[in-house]
Amino acid sequence: MDKLSVLATFLFLLLATTLLVSGQDCGRQGGNRPCTNGNCCSQYGFCGNTPAHCLPENNCQSQCTGGGGGGGAAVAVEILAPFVTASAFDQMLKYRNDPRCSANGFYTYNAFITAARAYNGFGTTGSADVRRRELAAFFAQTSHETTGGWASAPDGPYAWGYCFVRERDQSNSYCDSNDWPCPQKYFGRGPIQLSHNYNYGLFGRSIGRDLINNPDLLATDPTLSFRSAIWYWMTPQGNKPSSHDVITGRWTPSAADTSAGRVPGFGVITNIINGGLECGRGQDSRVEDRIGFFRRYCSILGVSPGAMDKFMILLLLTINLLLLVSGQDCGSQGGNRPCTNGNCCSQYGFCGNTPAHCLPENNCQCTGGGGGGGSGVGSIITSTVFEEMLKHRNDQRCPANQFYTYNAFIQAAAAYNGFGTTGSADVQRRELAAFFAQTSHETTGGWPDAPDGPYAWGYCFVREQNQDNAYCSSSEYPCPQKYFGRGPIQLTHNYNYGRFGSSIGRDLINSPDLLATDPNLSFRSAIWFWMTAQDNKPSSHDVITGRWTPSAADTSAGRVPGFGVITNIINGGLECGIGQDNRVEDRIGFYRRYCSILGVSPGDNLDCNNQRPFA
């Protein structure tokens, strides 16, 4: 058996053994075990890398907050701290707190660890050497950006990283994008010296903070400052790969890259960050400075700066062999093959689940196929099944007629890894039946003696029929429009429009009606709500796929796993805990019909009649 097979078998057995022993994965429900592989422990005791697992505001238990000075807990102890301990951090950034450095006292170890936990895979991808090399590369590039060193500086110029927070020349406003306003100056701030209004806007959206109006938060909040750098590191920049993918060996150069001399290694990261000024011009002192930091940090962390370890070499050889055999994976470049496992086909013909692969605005080749539907969600919800389930959605009596299309659904589903692709075939069918049932109730146009019955009239509306309420429920978000229900889930409230908009990089606070005019966005809003834990509620996805275990409070409130809890999540305050309710029965009616079409049992606990609503 080859090494990769041995490794895969070992990991599978380890996971199976862990699950058999533990019930829940981590935290107080799982014997205070930490999560592995850079995952976070959710409030319910399960490991994962979604916001529901990782964000402190969602009551994440571990791997998501600052630890102690000696390496902290969780991810710091398991993954980062063996390489970047507090003492290694101080050794690498030896003079950051020197009085001659304007940033002295700002960049702390705990702030770095806290920020690192928010980005799954950062410093935790690949073998030990790959992890060390990524951390060395990250600190090297950011140290150059913030260096205060000089040729004859104590301990050399490469011991003086992280000397500055703000760019020294602050005369440029960096207002480069008309897509974002420019009320402030967007000069470099933080470890990566984040600049340009669009970067402040995009990063702010990703964390739900208004950095367009408050860019200096990156120079006053150490954790946000580190997060801005790690976000930039982990995120593809325009047509460039992410620095993370380059240094971990997950990037394969295109023909255009190869002809341009862009090959895997630390140098490409310099090109990503500042190639327009530093690359393709022969030797450059700035490039040499970055390399100097990198070599020093590699030495401290005990890894070579250039050579790939054997595992990564084998992995790259495998990738290259596949490319030689098949060219690209999918789409027009790959013989129109579909991707598997819920992945999307990028504009370049490669499968994956990043925004670069899945977002329509990145030219994803992810529209649905014909009658067969292909793989993933489309193998269960074929276009024929879609038409049968939502049989009268295009009836002239439905205001939404012609709006909800199969291709828009398939395209939206591809953007959410795990949706309709988690668990066994029955679990996948049950999730899709439940999703369409809940959304069909929200958009129903049926009546008791409607043709084919009331449960064949889902998806009849796009906008809520009563549009009087503005749903300006949260002071955290402005309220220039009305946030009544739109789309399959009838997304309401300004905070939901704000949060969903932030997750996809769109301004839905000012343009909420995009959910009623763009079918793909409309479906995405529903799937986002479905996949995302709602405050103290689990996600509907976790409930229907069996990944949610009720707490003692849930049990005492009668909230047990099943379709009924999803109704409670969506509209429990109005429909649950009041005995039999026609709205609850309508949801169940849709669910039973869709389960029958998809050939799966609906399971138990379908209503929420005796469940108290989530507080």
pLDDT in tens, 319-365: 333 433 334 567 666 666 666 545 667 766 776 655 556 655 556 66
Q: Which of 169, 157, 148, 166 is nearest to 291 (CA)?
A: 157
Instruction: Look up the CATH number of the domain holding residue 239.
Output: 1.10.530.10
Q: Indicate if 155 and 256 belong to the same structural domain.
A: yes
In a domain, 440, yes or no: no
Q: Which of 278, 431, 442, 464 is catalytic?
A: 442
Pairing of strands 344-345, 47-48: unpaired
Q: Is the pLDDT of residue 38 over 50?
A: yes
Letter string b/e over residues 212-239, b meaning 16 or more CB atoms within 10 A of that residue's CB: beebebbbebbbbbbbbbbbbbbbbeee
Q: Tell me which residue range forms the domain holding 196.
A: 85-113+121-326
Q: Answer with the one of 326, 348, 366 that is the final residue of a domain.
A: 326
How many helical (H) and strand (E) elements, i.e. helices and strands, does the chain have?
A: 24, 4
Higher pLDDT among residues 73 and 25, named by residue: 25
- List pLDDT tens digits, range 135-163: 999 999 999 999 999 999 999 999 999 99
Q: Indicate if 7 and 103 belong to the same structural domain.
A: no
Letter string b/e over residues 503-530, b meaning 16 or more CB atoms within 10 A of that residue's CB: bbebbbbeebebbbebbbbbbbbbbbbb
In a domain, 609, yes or no: no
d(CA 40, CA 78): 12
Task: Name the one residue in this structure whose structure tokens are 């012609």.
Answer: 402
Higher pLDDT among residues 84 and 440, named by residue: 440
Residue 458 near residue 444, CB atoms below 8 Å: yes
Q: Which residues does residue 351 pair with via DSSP β-bridges, in sequence order? A: 345
- List pLDDT tens digits, range 262-289: 999 999 999 999 998 999 989 899 999 9
Q: Indicate if 258 and 319 belong to the same structural domain.
A: yes
d(CA 561, CA 195): 47
Threshold 0.75, pTM exceeds: no
Q: Indicate if 46 and 150 belong to the same structural domain.
A: no
Q: Is-catalytic flag, 145?
A: no
In a domain, 331, yes or no: no
Q: Indicate if 59 and 104 belong to the same structural domain.
A: no
In a domain, 30, yes or no: yes
Q: Indicate if 148 and 2 belong to the same structural domain.
A: no
Mean pLDDT of the chain: 83
Q: Which of 428, 388, 373 is nearest to 600 (CA)?
A: 428
Residue 440 near residue 458, CB atoms below 8 Å: yes
Q: Indicate if 249 and 208 belong to the same structural domain.
A: yes
Q: Indicate if 261 and 146 belong to the same structural domain.
A: yes
Six-digit token pair at 496? Answer: 């939901």
- List pLDDT tens digits, range 172-203: 999 988 888 999 999 999 999 999 999 999 99
d(CA 49, CA 363): 26
3 state SS of 210: coil
d(CA 247, CA 342): 25
In a domain, 567, yes or no: no
d(CA 239, CA 254): 11
Based on the number of CB atoms within 10 Å of its own CB, is 284 exposed (0-12), middle (13-18) or buried (19 or more)? Answer: middle
Task: Name the one residue in this structure whose structure tokens are 């984040």.
Answer: 194
Q: Indicate if 13 and 146 belong to the same structural domain.
A: no
Which of the four pLDDT bands, split at 50, 70 and 90, describes residue 245?
very high
In a domain, 595, yes or no: no
Higher pLDDT among residues 595 and 2, named by residue: 595
DSSP designation for 516:
G
Q: Indicate if 101 and 50 belong to the same structural domain.
A: no
Q: Answer with the one of 326, 345, 375 that is the final residue of a domain.
A: 326
In a domain, 360, yes or no: no
Please work out, in degrees rounded to the nearest 5, the angle formed at the alpha carbon of residue 502 by the alpha carbons of 240 and 119.
60
Six-digit token pair at 489? Answer: 């889930």
Q: What is the CA radius of gyration of the chain?
A: 26
Q: Indicate if 258 and 190 belong to the same structural domain.
A: yes
Q: Answer with the one of 280, 298, 326 that is the final residue of a domain.
A: 326
Q: Indicate if 3 and 132 belong to the same structural domain.
A: no
What is the distance of C-alpha 346 from the center of its chain?
17
In a domain, 219, yes or no: yes
Instruction: Look up the CATH number of the domain holding residue 60.
Output: 3.30.60.10
DSSP designation for 79:
I
d(CA 455, CA 448): 9
**pLDDT, position 258:** 87
Task: Work out whether the CA dihedral 541, 544, 547, 551 comes out positive or negative.
Answer: positive
Number of structural domains, the chain? 2
Q: Is the pLDDT of residue 372 over 80?
A: no
